[in-house]
Each structure stands twice: as C-alpha cells, then as structure tokens.
Amino acid sequence: MNFKRLIIYEAFARAYPGEKGKKFDSLIKDLERLKGMGINTVWLMPIHPTGIEGRKGTLGSPYAIRDYYEIDPFIGTKDDFKRFVKRAHELNMYVLMDMVLNHAAADNVLVKEHPEWFLRDENGNPTRKVPDWTDIVDFDYSNGELRKYMINMMKYWVEEFDIDGFRCDVAGLVPLDFWLQVRKELDPLKRLIWLSETHDPYMYQAFDITYDYDGYYKFRDFIEGKGSLREYVDFLRMQDHMYPRGYIKMRFLENHDQPRIAKFIEEDSLIQWIAFLFTFKGVPLVHNGQEYGLKEDVDIFNEYTLPFPMEENRISILHRKLAHYRYGTGVFTEGEMLFVKNDQPEKVISYLWRYENRYILCVLNPLLENTKVTLDFSGIWESACIHSKNVFNDEIVRVPVKNSRAIVEIGKEPLILSFVLY
C-alpha cells in the first residue's frame, strides 16, 4: 500500500441528511459523489453512542463514547455500517474508523464494569488530564487488562466489518508502547492504515501518517496576519529535519476542530490554498463541506445537518480536478519534492516535483498580486526550455531557464506546470 496515494475525506455521519437512524443510507449514497470527486479514503468521525452524563450540547460530543462495541442509534445499525463498508470497497475506497482511546464518556459502560481502568485524582475519583474536557474521563494504560480490551475491540471492527484503518484521536496522550503493542497484535490481521492525531516525530514508530498541526498553526498565523508567508514556508522546510526520512503528514486547511477556511480568506486566495493542499507533499484531507467552500462550522455537540446535496461551484470543481490529477499522476506519489527559491518569498510559494523525466512546477500566489517572480533552479538546471501545461487552466506555458534562473508571470490563478524533459 502506497500511503502517499491517499486522498482522505472526513465525514461526520451524524450530520448527514436523512431520518434519525438512517444516516448511513445518506452516507452510502454520498460515496459515489466522493469517488467522483477523487476521494479514495473516508475517515468516519466516531459512530458510537455518546455519553449522557456531563453531555455537551443536546447530542453530545462524538468523542465522548459510551460503548465501543455499539453504533449510535441516531446514525444507524451495525448492518448499515457493514453495507457502508461493502459499498466503499466496491468503489475501491478505504474506510477509516475514529478510535478514541485516551478517554471515554463519564458514563461509559466500562466506568462501572472496570473502575480500576480509569485515571484517578487524589480523592480516588475518575479524572482527566485535560480539565476542560468535562464530559469524559481518562483511561489508565498501566492496567494490562485495559490494553487487552482495547486491542480486542479494535480487532472486532477489523474482523467483523473489514475496515481499513484507524484515525487515532489525541494519540500522543496514550503511551507509545501501547500503540506498538496494538500494531503487533493487529498487523497479522490486515495491513491497516494508521493515522495519528499528533505531530510528535516519535509517533512514526507506530503510525504511518501524522497530523500536520505544527504546520497548520504556522499557516493560521499567516492568514490571520500574525506571521509571514516566508516564516510558514521556512517552517515547512524545517520539517524535513524534524521528522524521519520518508515521513508523511496529513495536510489540511480545516477539520472538525478548526474553523472553516472559507471564513478567513477570499475565494481567489482559497483557490491558491486548495492548489497547495493537493500539490504539496503529504496526503490531503478534505473536511465535510470544505469542497463547496462552506463557511458555517459543523456543530459536533448539537443536532446539525450538512446542506447536502449542493450544486457544483468553482471550489468543488477545483477540488475534483486536482484530486483526480494528484491520484492519476505518479509524480506526487513516486517522485521527490524540492523547494525552489524565489525573489519574493514574502508573497510566493514555489516548489518542484520530479519523477524520472516528468516534472510538476508549482508557483502559488496567495496574496494575489500580479507580478513577475524570478525562480532560482541552482543545483537543478543551468539551462532548460520548459514547455508545460498549466493543470489549473490547461493553458500552455513556456518557461526558459538561463543561468539557473527563470522569470514567470503570476496573478490570481495558480501555476501548476506539468512537463517532461528529455
């Protein structure tokens, strides 16, 4: 399995249209749309029953789980879930379950059955490491029986439902040696996809992919005017020295914990960042509704319905085009990405992909200023005559390189230049 080929979609089952208890029907119907959009992996936010004690909102957080072996009746049944996974596999798509193993709802069935499995305060009461998470209590992984329970539970969803992997919530708050134990037990069953909601380098010992939260915070600093584009790109460069060789980050512009990107930036700038999402190294995440440029945040605590189906728009068309392009070319999955210096680093991002004699040059202009930018190809080409097609708009673009320098004109449309050199 080549994890670099993944294009992940985050789906909140409870928020899909349809009657209570019939949400999987809507999800199953949506699979064909997602497949047509270029998505090949669906990450389902937790689908288990939520806790009642200390519940936040009317329906409760999906991350406050009451029973790990059941499906939330608001969403559907186990048979419905099996149908969903079966249909996804028919479409050659992967299904990831959300595993919330650091904590559980305050009234999780295990609190009474196995009170010794939970973290305790000085008074002997169940407690948590993060005080604000008032609807949950934390597990104590010094207990070997708890570990066995969690491993067997994860095996259950693999063996009985044939899921393809796990997105592991706040995985860094769970001991690394537990995750290594999990991998040892589950790897013989099936080669699963392991995605960690953490950006700690050591987590690659147990996970295939980690979140790009460290990069995302720098990105937010830029779009909120707290940092420069140069600082963001410099940090992305530094990641190559922070993480193990061949590391894979899940890149994102938004997710259920972060606000809608369309709330922050105008549409033309968003176009540039969508181009970045699908052409930068790592694997892209598309959050429920992001593909339409939705601005309303998803409410994960109360009853909320996504406004699906929606009419195609400029944003959704670009998501589909770039997702298919990313998946269809081997350059992003087999090739190497190099940062390309330019003379306007406060305004422009430039990088080059190469695989054998195939290249993709990306020059992105999130500040949208019409200008000419000089690219420095030192160490790559002394001279070259590039005849390329801009994947964004299918226009032919000629880029002459002399003395390792090239000048390109940029404006409101990103340059994603595909070409071959012999």
127 Cβ contact list (under 8 Å, min separation 6):
118, 119, 120, 121, 137, 138
Q: Are 73 and 49 in contact (CB under 8 A)?
A: yes
Domains in the chain, please, with CATH? 3-328 (3.20.20.80), 337-420 (2.60.40.1180)
Q: How many CB atoms lie within 10 A of CB 238?
A: 13
Q: Which two tokens stand for residue 42?
A: 């669906």
What are the two backbone dihedrals, phi and then psi, of residue 46, each rounded to the nearest 5 degrees?
A: -50, 135
Q: What is the pLDDT of residues 274-294, one digit of tens each?
A: 999 999 999 999 999 999 999
Work out the angle between the directed axes of helices 267-279 and 314-328 (0-180°, nearest 10). Answer: 10
DSSP SS3 for 397: strand
Q: What is the pLDDT of the chain when averaged over all its residues?
A: 97
Cα(168)–Cα(179) distance, rounded to whole angstroms? 10
Q: Are 59 and 50 in contact (CB under 8 A)?
A: yes
Q: Are 276 and 270 in contact (CB under 8 A)?
A: no
Q: What is the pLDDT of residues 216-260, one digit of tens each?
A: 999 999 999 999 999 999 999 999 999 999 999 999 999 999 999
> What pLDDT does 271 receive?
98
Q: How many CB atoms lie within 10 A of CB 93?
A: 19
117 Cβ contact list (under 8 Å, min separation 6):
110, 139, 140, 143, 145, 146, 149
Q: Which one, of 36, 12, 39, lies nearest residue 283 by Cα?
A: 39
Q: What is the pLDDT of residues 142-187, one digit of tens each?
A: 999 999 999 999 999 999 999 999 999 999 999 999 999 999 999 9
For 51-67, what is the mean pLDDT?
Answer: 97
> What pLDDT does 313 receive?
97
